[in-house]
A and B are shown apart, each in its own frame.
Chain A
Amino acid sequence: MIGPSRLRGLSSAERTAACLVSLSYLDGIGPATLRRCHLEHGAEETWFDLLAGRSDRVVPIVDLAARGNPELGARLARQARQRDPIADLAAQRVTGRHLVVHGTRGYPERLVADQAAPAVLFMAGHPDVLRRPTAAIVGTRNATLAGRSLAEDLGEGLARAGVTVVSGLALGIDGAAHRGALSPRVDVQPSVTGVHVPRGAVGVIASGLDVVYPRRHAHLHRDLAENALLVTEMPAGMRPDTWRFPARNRIISALADVVVVVESRVTGGSLHTVDEALVRGVPVLAVPGHPSAPASAGTNALIFDGAGLVRDTSDVLLALGLDDPRPQGQPASDGVGAREDTAAERAVMAALGATPSSLAEVVTATGRSVSEVSHALYCLMASGRVAETEGWYEAVPVALGPR
């Protein structure tokens, strides 16, 4: 157990930070309680009251315990005695990482006034990118090719227009949006002073900065931490428990000037981000989909409920009150020098509707033989106009992309 005496060697701000970090490691204290402890009772006071077994003096914890958890105070005190705030604080001090406490300098201005602002934030990378206009791009993990492709194009187009793209690093839409925003095609003007200009992307995660989740996005995680910004309210080493994702979503919507939902099922987690955005008065935009596509059921419902409609980057820029800085001509027509499509290929392209189709569906829709249809599909794949994932064929969207 670390007595108050050792902490005295630290400055007052450091003491607060150290206590907040240690408190956020405790199992039982969530973001909301931590915030109340910090603002109402004081982090340092909370910590020493817990250690001394006087949790009944800490009103937020008393409130929490009153909701059917009478042992909470004792449990927290037990955990607290195992922790060393000085060591906990030292564990966060890694090159390139910042720890900012609510109400101190360096805390993102966008979050200061937020009703559920995190008491402490951990960031890696360049917090400056939050000074630019921001747009959150969120959506389902289980996305269609068209959805991912649009998310990537939106990410790239927005980054090119100087907008910072905020997302949650999840598989599917989130990852695609980050990839687009980090794309090397977005030309960051080389600074005259030789200072590296960070890329306009923010990843908000539900784990500690050193915990990579999902693993498949390890490269994005690294890229964001080095060249853009990675934000979390969880101290180093914390695993991304399921309940932390909704809390993560509130930070995404609090950081965003506008929230764009690319694809979502009716009960998708991205709709939680939308709810948080609506509470904060952040405009919500959605990408429409075919009525029969399950991946677009949530976004179509949002549009029906009054969300703005997104066709391309300029719709998002319009919602942000920005002009499209670089209007571009139409992309060059596809298939330069290609041969004419065969009748079977035309029939297959016509049968590949807005939603992914299986081979059997294309065969049924065209009334042609399995061999003919597969041949047409593979020829179309060879010329890049059809894509296949696990037996589902999709027409590659050619009209999408920044204009």
Chain B
Amino acid sequence: MFATIPSALVMGVDGQPVTVEVHVARGLPGLSIVGLPDAACREARDRVRAAVTVAGSDWPQMRITINLAPSDTRKVGSGLDLAMAIGVLVASGQVPQSAVDGLGFIGELGLDGTVRPVAGMVCRVGAIRSTEVVVPVASAADAMVIRGPEVRPVATLAEVVRALKDPPAGWPDYRVVPTSFPDPPAVDLAEVRGQPTAMQALELAAAGGHHLLMVGPPGAGKTMLASRLPGLLPDLDLSQSIECTRVHSAAGLSVGGLITRPPYRAPHHTTTPVALVGGGADSLRPGEVSLAAHGVLFLDELGEFSPAVLDCLRQPLEEGIIRVSRARYCADLPARVLLVAAMNPCPCGEGGRPGACRCPDGMLARYRRRLSGPLLDRFDLRIAVFRPDPQRLLGGEPGPSSAEVAERVARAREMAAGRGVDCNAHLDGRLLDEATPLDDEATALLSSALGAGRLSARGLTKVRRVALTVADLAGHRGPLTAFHLSTAMAMRIDVAGTRGIAA
């Protein structure tokens, strides 16, 4: 009169093994679920009962108790429905215990007995403690992404019951075709004309992992440039691929295969803090930052995002991880993104070029106050983008293709790997000092810039990192020269400054 069935949940991007324990005994007929189920989980009572009867089995007229172990963590969602139904059937003796040995179950039940897909299949299958796992056919491809238990796709509860009761008939044979996750749109850098600094900045961002801020009027091509950045990044390595796939699965996206290309996410500026960094009351779903992990997070119209949302980004950008904590539980979500942001120089959009802006001072000051200094400081590369000259749009030679640039980027990343980091943006303290000796002219240039107030002490570190990437891309070895440093400084304009108004 007792059964234990393995299943799994997802919390953040991590799977959590759960054991569904079902006890059937004499008493007033009824079903109670214990072990901190949330509303969706408690409603399983009605779904399970309907599905079991529709599948042709009997609902035991006895006292049924279902415990979800470990019972001190909150159980969220409907992914345990199938395991509960099987537990009831085993505990009431309709399915022999021996038939479910080594089997785990994941899936939601419909009232008609269909087995439906649930979010986070990749993470759940990775965590389940069984040698075989029964999953909804719709997410079977996701379940097969990670090498783990053998996957048994099913469409209805009746199929499961038939397979368990009558082993020779076996499991239904669904042909599971792994689809690949849609890659970011294939756009090539060669299509960009007349944007020399922006091209250089994209290459530096890709090679050095430097966050990039583009400031320019509407129509300057900021979005077009940003969408070409993922194409310059190298393929994800295996651990990055798996992490990326798990995040997408946990967010409820059907992945259908391992994600191998860096993701590109461009959330709208009305995004809320929770949607950006992840969280939510129950399951701690990963947010846009985590979905963009190991890829590009593009924030268009940075000035229109609410300041509270933007300031949420500061810690994740620094540490590469988001720790979302709630009273009962917390989760670590990946956040190692390449941040690319675009904004207009001012509300009227025409600013930038001195003398062209029509904005009243108060409005301009309000616009600029939205961007906190610490956030702007996270951008190693800050460039002005302008509408290209029409002549160069029509004629002009095409720039280098994405493939050519990607090759240079890969070489530069190899040099960074030789220093023990993924990319130069992660170089810190002693490593940076060792990697960036300066020649005499470079030292003179820096001291003149520091003396004239064009560079702050904090800016110096950033400029040295970017200068190192400039040198790496040029295949330069040895001390950094004034060329590298001045390029880095020219790529770091003062956005929130005084707009050249004499103070």
A residues within 8 Å of B by Cβ? 140-145, 147-148, 171-172, 175-176, 179, 214, 216-217, 263, 265, 293-296, 355-356, 358-361, 363-364, 370-375, 377-379, 381-382, 388-392, 394
A370–B467 Cα distance when bound, in Å, is 13
Decide: A144 and B487 in contact? CB cutoff 8 A: no
A144 contact set on B, CB distance < 8 A: 354-355, 500
Decide: A374 and B361 in contact? CB cutoff 8 A: no
Decide: A370 and B197 in contact? CB cutoff 8 A: yes
Decide: A377 and B354 in contact? CB cutoff 8 A: no
Does B448 reach chain A (CB closer than 8 Å)?
A: yes
| A-B contact list, 24 entries, CB within 8 Å | A140-B355, A171-B502, A214-B361, A293-B355, A295-B355, A296-B355, A355-B353, A359-B490, A360-B195, A360-B198, A360-B384, A361-B386, A363-B196, A364-B196, A364-B389, A370-B196, A370-B197, A371-B483, A372-B483, A378-B485, A378-B490, A379-B486, A382-B444, A389-B497
A216 contact set on B, CB distance < 8 A: 501, 503
Additional 8 contacts, C-beta under 8 A, given A144-B355, A373-B490? A142-B354, A143-B354, A214-B361, A371-B487, A375-B483, A391-B352, A392-B384, A392-B500
Please give the distance in Å from B425's CB to the nearest CB on chain A: 19
A216–B497 Cα distance when bound, in Å, is 13
Decide: B197 and A175 in contact? CB cutoff 8 A: no
Does B385 reach chain A (CB closer than 8 Å)?
A: yes
A148 contact set on B, CB distance < 8 A: 500, 502
Decide: B194 and A145 in contact? CB cutoff 8 A: no
Range for the number of chain B residues in contact with chain A: 35 or more
Does B383 reach chain A (CB closer than 8 Å)?
A: yes
A389 contact set on B, CB distance < 8 A: 354, 494, 497-500
Does B445 reach chain A (CB closer than 8 Å)?
A: yes
A217 contact set on B, CB distance < 8 A: 503
Please give the distance in Å from A388's CB to the nearest CB on chain B: 7
Choose one: B198, B345, B358, B486; the contact of A265 (CB below 8 Å).
Answer: B358
Decide: B501 and A390 in contact? CB cutoff 8 A: no
Interface string of B379-391 (1 = CB under 8 A from A): 0001111100100
Q: Which residue of A lies closest to B197 (CB)?
A: A360
A370 contact set on B, CB distance < 8 A: 196-197, 200, 487, 490
B195 contact set on A, CB distance < 8 A: 360
A257–B361 Cα distance when bound, in Å, is 30
Decide: A142 and B499 in contact? CB cutoff 8 A: yes
Please give the distance in Å from A400's CB to the nearest CB on chain B: 15
Please give the distance in Å from A146's CB to the nearest CB on chain B: 9
A217–B470 Cα distance when bound, in Å, is 41
Q: Mark out the residues of chain B between 189 and 244 whose CB falls within 8 Å of any chain A CB in the assembled complex.
A: 194-198, 200, 215
Please give the distance in Å from B458's CB to the nearest CB on chain A: 18
A361 contact set on B, CB distance < 8 A: 386
Decide: A390 and B355 in contact? CB cutoff 8 A: no
Q: Which residue of B lies closest to A219 (CB)?
A: B503
Q: Which residue of A lies closest to B497 (CB)?
A: A390
Interface string of B470-503 (1 = CB under 8 A from A): 1000100000001111110111011101111111
A141–B484 Cα distance when bound, in Å, is 36
Q: Nearest 4 A-B pairs (CB), nearest first?
A: A295-B355, A391-B493, A389-B500, A374-B490
Decide: A375 and B501 in contact? CB cutoff 8 A: no
Known: A142-B501, A171-B501, A293-B355. A390 touches B495 (CB 8 A): yes
A295 contact set on B, CB distance < 8 A: 354-356
A394 contact set on B, CB distance < 8 A: 354
Decide: A374 and B487 in contact? CB cutoff 8 A: yes
B394 contact set on A, CB distance < 8 A: none
Decide: A378 and B445 in contact? CB cutoff 8 A: yes
Decide: A172 and B501 in contact? CB cutoff 8 A: yes
A374–B383 Cα distance when bound, in Å, is 13
Known: A294-B356, A360-B195, A364-B196. A391 touches B502 (CB 8 A): no
